[in-house]
Structures are given as C-alpha cells and as structure tokens.
C-alpha cells in the first residue's frame, strides 16, 4: 500500500460479535466493530485511520447536510468455498464512485485509499464475514462535504469513510412494481448515473405513494413522455422477450450503471443469449405481454443480486408473471452466487481476495 494511505489502526477492546449471531441478519442494521476514515484537506487525502465504529461529530453548518454533496457505494465481500474472503468487483465501484464525485464537484478517491483501505478494514473485521450460504459482508464506502460554511459552493474539505454490515440472505419476495408516470428520477444532463445521496431522498415520496397502493417499488420512466423505461428503485431492469433479453442502455446518463447489470450482460452473452441494450418503451412491453412474448422481468443490484418481478402495473392495467417459470433469472441468480461464493472457477477475475 502507498505509505501515505497506510491507515493508523486502533482496535477496540471488545467485539460486538460476542452478542450478535451472523445468521439471518436483516440488511443494513448491524455494523461491524471498526470503520475507516480519511479527510480531504488542502487538496490531499490524509489522516487515514481505522478505529472502532462510533459516532462522528460535526457543527450544524456541515455543508453536506445543507447542499447535498454526498455520494456512496455498495459492495459485498464473501466467505469463499476455500475459506478465504473475496470482494466482488470493487474496482468497478471505485470507477463509479469517482464518476459520481466528478459530477458532484467532489475530489476523486485514489485506488490506494478506496480499494486498499477496504481490504485492510475487511481484514481487521474478518470475523464479521458470515459463512452461511447467501450471506455476505456489505461494504458501504461514502464521501461527504465537511466545510462548516453556509455559502453555496463546493466544499473545500471532505470526509471519506467505509463501514461494514454483515447481512443476508436477502431473499426478496417477487416484487409488485408500479410504473411511475408522474414523478421522475432522472433527466439527461442530470445526476441519474451518480450514486449521489440526493437521488435517493428525491425518490422516497414516489416510492411511498406506490407502497400505499400496495406495490413494492416504482419503475421510473423518462421525464418527457413517460414512455421509456429507466430502472426500478435501486435495481437495473431486464425484460426477456421471446429468446432475447433487453435492458435500457446507459447513453442518456439517466440510469445508474450497475456492476450487477454489467455482470448479468456478460454472463448472458457468454451463454449465447442475445442481449440488447437500447431504449425500451412501455408500449413495447405491453405489446410483448399481450402477445405472450414477455416471459421474464427481473431486477439486478448488489443488495438482492437478481430479484424477480411478479407484477407490473401500468396505466391501471396489471401485467402479472409467474416467477417460478423464470429460467433466465434463476440461472443468473445461481451463477452469480456460485461465482461470489467461490464454488466455481472465477474465469472473469471478478473476485478480489482481501
């Protein structure tokens, strides 16, 4: 590791593991014993430390809270079949993190801090990686503006942190999805492609309204005509129409390009399945449904891997699916799990040992 980013490590005296069993923990609720922290000041990252998980205190003028310069990532580490621990494609998350940072006028985080810091932290808390099937250690890197100043301008100081949550299995029930035609998530030229905190705050009202109507999530559509499909909640969306698999392309910058999405496309192409990345309209989806060609609808994301969709509600019409008959989605879910848990050879070089 680059010496400048070598963390100063302070270990806690006791471990919370004495009181927590790592089986069947709900997502995002329990945190490991340690966290990584670094500060950006005078144009450089410094003060890299790993210390016990604890509150961080700030004055009320903290710029991130007022103007939203805050970004994050979601990554998973797995206990491998050979007993080791590996992280799934973290360099892809680093690329996306720095793309988010650039769009939000925040500094880039170097490989030696993001990747090596994460490896070091996971090694410190290695006993927190659950070894049950479909379990993992969720890694949450994030960065936020720390100037204590109410002027609206990019902050000059930032904090980068990594925290860890043991989680899983994240078996989601097949989902009921409401196709959103009033609220919008992202526009061309906006921040849809970035994992920027504000995107999630801005999505909560629409999602809450859909939940009141009995749905699990919304499927976002384009902001101009509500015609083209974008993505679902925190997942990219795939449609199997006939023998082809279709997913919206990333050209407009309105969709968060998932690492899972990218992996799904790679696997499907290796299997000889034709994948089209292009605009998909709700009209096309409805027609494919009516003609019996729309066989599967599923979402992809780090948290749930592949999640099956059992209903799409569009303009008052309900399209329903039988997830038990989803061959492609099931094959993908199985293949992804086998790769992540090291039960098959890692041909792609997707797993980074810690």
Ligand X SMILES: *Cc1c(COP(=O)(O)O)cnc(C)c1O
Could you say which of 70, 80, 122, 234 contacts ligand X (CB under 6 A)?
234
Report how far Cα 127 is from the mean position of its chain's Cα atoms.
23
Residue span binding ligand X (CB under 6 A) among the ranges 14-22, 38-46, 175-183, 253-261: 253-261
Q: Counting contacts by CB under 6 A, is residue 265 touching ligand X?
A: no
Give, in degrees to the nearest 5, the angle at Cα 49 between 46 and 52: 155
Question: Based on CB atoms, which residue is closest to ligand X, 130 or 299?
Answer: 299
Q: Counting contacts by CB under 6 A, is residue 74 touching ligand X?
A: yes
Q: How far is the CB of 137 from ligand X (least distance, A)?
A: 15
Question: Based on CB atoms, which residue is closest to ligand X, 62 or 235?
Answer: 235
Could you say which of 34, 119, 135, 261 contacts ligand X (CB under 6 A)?
261
The token duo for 225 is 């005509």
Q: Counting contacts by CB under 6 A, is residue 301 touching ligand X?
A: yes
Question: Based on CB atoms, which residue is closest to ligand X, 48 or 256?
Answer: 256
Question: Based on CB atoms, which residue is closest to ligand X, 155 or 300?
Answer: 300
Decide: helix, strand or coil at residue 205. helix
Q: Which residue's Cβ lies closest to ligand X?
A: 258
Question: Based on CB atoms, which residue is closest to ligand X, 32 or 236?
Answer: 236
Decide: helix, strand or coil at residue 324. helix
Task: Give the up-direction half-sphere exposure of residue 343: CA atoms within 13 A in the CB hemisphere.
Answer: 9
State which H helix or E strand residue 290 sits in. Answer: helix 282-290
- Beta-strand relationship, 236-241 and 175-179: unpaired
Task: Give the up-direction half-sphere exposure of residue 202: CA atoms within 13 A in the CB hemisphere.
Answer: 15
Rounded Cα–Cα distance for residues 163 and 179 (Å) = 34
Could you say which of 256, 294, 339, 352 contacts ligand X (CB under 6 A)?
256
Rounded Cα–Cα distance for residues 232 and 257 (Å) = 12
Q: Counting contacts by CB under 6 A, is residue 260 touching ligand X?
A: yes
Give, in degrees to the nearest 5, the angle at Cα 266 between 261 and 269: 125
Residue recorded with tokens 């490896």: 119
Q: How many CB atoms lie under 10 A from the CB of residue 28?
A: 13
Residues counted in the chain: 354
Question: Based on CB atoms, which residue is closest to ligand X, 63 or 247?
Answer: 247
Question: Based on CB atoms, which residue is closest to ligand X, 135 or 261?
Answer: 261
Rounded Cα–Cα distance for residues 76 and 89 (Å) = 9
Question: Based on CB atoms, which residue is closest to ligand X, 70 or 124?
Answer: 70
How does DSSP classify residue 25?
Answer: B
Q: Counting contacts by CB under 6 A, is residue 302 touching ligand X?
A: yes
Q: What is the CA radius of gyration of the chain?
A: 21
Residue span binding ligand X (CB under 6 A) among the ranges 13-21, 41-49, 256-264, 342-350: 256-264
Letters for 192-231 (x = contact with ligand X by CB under 6 A, - = none) are ---x-----------------------------------x
> How many of the chain's residues bind ligand X (CB under 6 A)?
14
Q: How far is the CB of 239 from ligand X (least distance, A)?
A: 16
Q: How far is the CB of 268 from ligand X (least distance, A)?
A: 15
Question: Based on CB atoms, which residue is closest to ligand X, 73 or 296?
Answer: 73
Closest CA to 353 of 67, 90, 125: 90
Which of the residues 12 through 71 are near ligand X (CB under 6 A)? none
Which of the residues 147 through 186 are near ligand X (CB under 6 A)? none
Q: Counting contacts by CB under 6 A, is residue 259 touching ligand X?
A: yes
Rounded Cα–Cα distance for residues 219 and 233 (Å) = 7
Question: Based on CB atoms, which residue is closest to ligand X, 51 or 103?
Answer: 103
Q: Which residues lie closer than 8 Å to 270 by C-beta, 6 or more apart? A: none
The token duo for 128 is 């927190």
Q: How far is the CB of 332 from ligand X (least distance, A)?
A: 12
Which residues form the interface with ligand X (CB under 6 A)? 74, 195, 231, 234-236, 256, 258-261, 300-302
């Amino acid at each position: 590791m680059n010496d400048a980013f070598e963390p100063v490590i302070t270990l806690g005296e006791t471990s919370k593991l004495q009181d927590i069993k790592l089986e069947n923990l709900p997502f995002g609720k329990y945190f490991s014993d340690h966290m990584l922290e670094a500060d950006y000041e005078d144009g450089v990252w410094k003060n890299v430390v790993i210390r016990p998980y604890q509150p961080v205190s700030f004055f009320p003028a903290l710029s991130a809270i007022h103007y939203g310069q805050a970004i994050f990532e979601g990554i998973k580490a797995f206990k491998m079949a050979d007993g080791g621990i590996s992280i799934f494609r973290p360099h892809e998350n680093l690329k996306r993190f720095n793309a988010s940072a650039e769009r939000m006028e925040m500094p880039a985080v170097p490989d030696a801090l993001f990747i090596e810091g994460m490896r070091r932290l996971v090694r410190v808390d290695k006993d927190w990686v659950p070894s049950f099937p479909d379990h993992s250690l969720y890694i949450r890197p994030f960065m936020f503006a720390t100037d204590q100043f109410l002027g609206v301008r990019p902050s000059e100081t930032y904090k980068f942190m990594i925290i860890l949550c043991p989680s899983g299995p994240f078996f989601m029930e097949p989902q009921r999805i409401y196709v959103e035609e009033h609220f919008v998530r992202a526009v061309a030229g906006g921040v849809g492609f970035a994992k920027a905190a504000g995107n999630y705050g801005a999505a909560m009202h629409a999602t809450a309204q859909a939940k009141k109507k009995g749905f699990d999530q919304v499927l976002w559509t384009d902001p101009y005509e509500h015609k083209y499909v974008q993505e679902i909640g925190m997942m990219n969306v795939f449609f199997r129409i006939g023998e082809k698999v279709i997913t919206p392309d990333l050209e407009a910058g309105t969709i968060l390009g998932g690492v899972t999405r990218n992996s799904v496309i790679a696997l499907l192409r290796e299997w000889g399945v034709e994948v089209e990345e292009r605009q998909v309209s709700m009209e096309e989806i409805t027609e494919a449904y009516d003609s019996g060609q729309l066989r599967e609808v599923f979402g992809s994301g780090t948290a749930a891997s592949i999640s099956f969709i059992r209903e799409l509600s569009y303009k008052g019409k309900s399209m329903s699916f039988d997830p038990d008959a989803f061959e492609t989605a099931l094959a993908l879910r199985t293949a992804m799990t086998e790769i992540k848990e090291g039960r098959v050879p890692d041909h792609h070089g997707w797993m980074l040992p810690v």
